[in-house]
Structure 1
Amino acid sequence: MFKGLWRYRNFVLSAIQNEFRSRFIRSKLGGLWMILNPLSQVAIYALILSNVLAAKLPGVTGQYAYSVYLMAGLLAWTLFSEIISRCLTLFVEQGNLIKKMKFPRVTLPAITIGSCLINNAFLVIAMLGLFLILGVNFSLQMLWLIPLTLIVVLFAAGIGILLGVINVFVRDLGQVIPILLQVWFWFTPIVYPRAIIPIEYQGLLTLNPFASIVGAYQDILVYGRTENVIELLPIAIISVCLLVVSLFVFRRASEEMVDVL
């Protein structure tokens, strides 16, 4: 599978490039559309909730503290949810291509993940620019965003590819997962700080592995600390194992997927 992906690397790169161009070929704002949606979410939440929740951020003061906190969480969530959402319907949408052409099918999720990473890169640049405007001091600790992004990609790809395979056989999944993602979003301390959760319920956050990833983003970008990043090692190992399992299932189910599609 990986040998086939390497042989078709030029196809993957050109497909990512063509997808990027086709999305904005007639757009006046081009790549700005990829960042306007999450930034508009930040503006809405900050406008409505900043006065209420800014004082709830422990150890952080400043007029724009809540906005920075919110952007840090959305930076992680946007990449995570986009990979899952696009992989969920990927094989169904590309059914005709899968049936009519013979090529390493693993290139399809590779193209999707590569496209999501480009979108995330634009969002990172935009948010770092806003951080600069808001007076956030940059530091070398922000380089930890690179391994954190890798963990997010591995975790999301493992979930997304597995769900994408199942969705070929059980189409109802395509309707259920977006709802579950919304629930997952609000179960993760992105819009609200962890400190407002009653102590007796904070233990429930241990059931949400993505809460730790978002917390690492917030620690780096809001608090400038990296002490808790090493705690993500178990999640990174789980993400790798999940991706291996999803690729194994994908490979075993590829022929049956063609028949169903």
Structure 2
Amino acid sequence: MNEIIYYTDELNEEFSRAKITPRVIDGSFRYFHGKLWDLCSLIVQNVLSMPVKILYQKIKFHLRYVGREKLRECRNRGYFIYGNHTQPFADTFIPSVANYPHRNFFIVNPENVSMPGMGELVEMLGAIPIPCDLAGMKHFVQSVEDKIRKNYSVTIYPEAHIWPYYIGIRPFRSVSFQYPVKLNCPVYALTNTYHRRKGRTGKVNIVTYIDGPFYPDEGLKPKERQQNLRDRVYLCMEERSRESDYEVIRYRKAEK
């Protein structure tokens, strides 16, 4: 019988099984490094770790992409990817493999760079942690903008919290869409859907849909542009999520 999880708050509840004490990400955190560090990051990100990423998602999920070719339209410029947050590890692999050899970075919560002895490696793999104060936020935004200007991609999970194997799209705010609006750059929607594996009871396959690019509507005011972009991406992801036909974990709203 499938596991059932009861929730009360779609926006703020977290169901990741990893319990990590987050480090403080403030104005002293280094978002920019030297050329040697950047070279090591490139090697770790796009050479050494890539076979592991490909094998993991292929063996565990028999993952298949639909629409991957759409990324080629923006291969010579920076862009953002927005995805549904349903896997603790695969969510860092799926957009990076889809983008290869285009470098992909991803915005993460502080917990992701707080594992003892692993923080530096996670950063080299492309993690950009969200800071906890205004001084840190300035450097964080500069780092995100730097990646886009270098024609890399930046992945954002606007749902913010992991709900493992959730087959819907949770309502998310428009705040993270301020970046493509400010930089006037395209975005893609990445939607992971879940399907029962034939002949293997309990095993699940992932089909990842890539849609876009979506561009900010320059005929609107900035705040309206931000909300409009969010709504178009959300509706696209919601439509794609209906392709899921298997619930590994059932999520049910708790009665008050």
User: Whose strand proportion is higher, 1 or 2?
Assistant: 2
User: Whose helix proportion is higher, 1 or 2?
Assistant: 1
Structures share a fold, TM > 0.5? no
For normalisation by structure 2, the TM-score amounts to 0.28
For normalisation by structure 1, the TM-score amounts to 0.28
Larger radius of gyration: 1
